[in-house]
Amino acid sequence: MPPITDLALDLPTTDDLAAVAGALLGRFGVAWPDGGENEARTPITGGALGSTRGATAADVDAAVERANTAFRAWRLTPPPRRGELVRQLGALLREHKDDLAELVTLEAGKIPGEAQGEVQEMIDMCDLAVGLSRQLYGLTLASERPEHRMTEVWQPLGACAVITSFNFPVAVWAWNTSVALVCGDPVIWKPSEKTVLTALACQALVERAAAATGAPAGLSQVVVGGPEVGKALVDHPGVALVSATGSTAMGRAVAPRVAGRFGRCLLELGGNNAAIVAPSADLDLAVRGIVFAAAGTAGQRCTTLRRLIVHESRHDEVVSRLAGAYRTLRVGNPRDTGVLVGPLIDRRAYEGFARALAEVAAGGGQVVTGGQRDPALAEQAPEAFYVRPALASMAEQSELVLRETFAPLLYVLRYGDWDEAMALHNAARHGLSSSIFTNDLREAERFLSPGGSDCGIANVNIGPSGAEIGGAFGGEKETGGGREAGSDAWRAYMRRQTCTVNFGRDLPLAQGVEFL
């Protein structure tokens, strides 16, 4: 087995990375956060970059009050003028793209290419939202009553709480915030406790954009803290919409609390995503797509490929080729040129990965390659967790395989016919993203038909990860049913209103009812 990395094994010191983070924050005009109880750590070394003070219940109340004060003015602002604020934000993101991407690398451990891609996604979302600000279309409806006009319009909803996860520390905020702002809604952001510095940088940019356009104060706010801060937002009657990204367990806790006060939820939860490799698949294409989808971001995407369902005629070749590709992946310090896989976010993530690997044999499987933690890197930084992506061949789709492990662990299963493949595919409790590699037109169309994939995203000849912002992003079943980003996802941030105008002199009633 080759070493975990053929790069230099030296990691930077946490002090060096803290100095870099401080310099980057300075370029956003953010004072170095220190002196609080919430540590901002880097998975590159596992050390603390700084610390921030957590919000209290009183802080949350004040933030909601400021947001609703801003809402009363912002909802009356014409949508194209709201779009100008988002246009300015997009321009600032372009200006600070490299700096923000480097902060993402420091806090989330992403390689620079992926971090740059995440910030580009923010920019793209701003562009989409600016166009949307002139396209919040309603409907003209046919009235059964003479001299009556009926329309359906969309009105601003109110203050939105956005709760995000560490794995996409800034893009998911942009999905929500850029659209919410043009829809007329203020945003209160609770970032992951693991990625606070990037949130402070983004908040500084949106405040600059708001000042440049004369937008009211309080349109965008950040509240820092753990579950107790999230709970305060979830329970607050002044929050109209809670958009929460995280685990299914988190969603189960959030949804009934919001429903209990008749608020709205937009949930983006887990994913146990699968790809089918059909007999006709182009394996050169498939292997490349599979490796990125399974090992990219160290397996820490909600759309990461976790189950590979391969036709029995191609199984051995696919496993052999994937194992060879996995062994060439460079794992290590994400800031080093040539590294493709950075660290897991923390010890808890590593322990979940290790537990799943230990259960493979009991589940009738075999680890083909990967799973090791590099001892030299572990000795340098005991709280940094660099692992080689793992590939496991499984005899059956056990409970282990159906459980989402948020790490680079890909299970490979065999299938004999189409019905068996779809039964394996749709057996997952989650329903986020899915894909099939095939050159058979009938198979491709069946996969996209009502009897095919039961996921919110279904792809042909690409992996399940890497969704474009033009489409609505989200999934079914235990993924939560929410939709963000493009298409008509904007409607989640608005309220529907049916309007009727009588421009005649009579008062006919609907359904032919006669009263007076």
Q: Identify the burial level of 338 via C-beta atoms within 10 angstroms of its C-beta, where 0-12 means exposed, 13-18 middle and 19 or more buried.
A: exposed
Q: Are 299 and 349 in contact (CB under 8 A)?
A: no
Quote the CA–CA distance of 313 and 212 in Å, as a whole number: 62
Q: Give 514's contacts (C-beta < 8 A, 6+ positions apart).
A: none
- What percent of the chain is predicted at pLDDT more than 90? 94
Q: Which two structure tokens, joined as six digits, stand for 162?
A: 């956005």
Q: What is the mean pLDDT of residues 283-305?
A: 98
Three-state DSSP class for residue 476: strand
Residue 182, pLDDT score: 98
Q: Nearest Cα to 206, choosing from 346, 350, 82, 78?
A: 82
Q: Identify the burial level of 113 via C-beta atoms within 10 angstroms of its C-beta, where 0-12 means exposed, 13-18 middle and 19 or more buried.
A: middle
Mean pLDDT of the chain: 96
Quote the CA–CA distance of 498 and 491 in Å, as a whole number: 14
Residue 9, pLDDT score: 57
**Residues 160-197 pLDDT 10s:** 999 999 999 999 999 999 999 999 999 999 999 999 99
Q: Are 28 and 201 in contact (CB under 8 A)?
A: yes
Residue 414, pLDDT score: 98
Residue 345, pLDDT score: 98
Q: What is the mean pLDDT of residues 433-447?
A: 98
Residue 5, pLDDT score: 47
Q: Is the pLDDT of residue 465 over 90?
A: yes
- Give bridge partners of residue 160 from the DSSP assignment: 187, 241
Q: Is the pLDDT of residue 333 over 50?
A: yes
Model confidence at 269, pLDDT cuts 50, 70, 90, reads: very high
Q: Is the pLDDT of residue 100 over 50?
A: yes
Longest dimension (CA), the chain: 89
Domains and CATH numbers, the chain: 14-269+481-497 (3.40.605.10), 273-473 (3.40.309.10)
Strands 148-156 and 139-141: antiparallel
Residue 516, pLDDT score: 77
- What percent of the chain is predicted at pLDDT more than 70? 98
Per DSSP, 360 falls in state T
Q: b vs e for 256-279, b when ≥16 Cβ sit within 10 Å of the residue's Cβ? A: eebeeeebbbbbbbbbbbbbbbbe
Range with lowest mean pLDDT among 22-26, 375-379, 455-459:
375-379
Q: Is the pLDDT of residue 27 over 70?
A: yes
Q: What is the mean pLDDT of residues 224-251?
A: 97
DSSP string, 128-153: HHHHHTT----EEE--SSTTEEEEEE
Q: Are 1 and 326 in contact (CB under 8 A)?
A: no
**Residues 104-130 pLDDT 10s:** 999 999 999 999 999 999 999 999 999
Q: Nearest Cα to 296, choosing from 286, 288, 307, 284?
A: 288
Q: What is the mean pLDDT of residues 231-253?
A: 97
For 62, other C-beta atoms within 10 Å of its C-beta total: 15
Model confidence at 515, pLDDT cuts 50, 70, 90, reads: confident
Q: Is the pLDDT of residue 7 over 90?
A: no
Q: Which residues are catalytic?
A: 268, 302
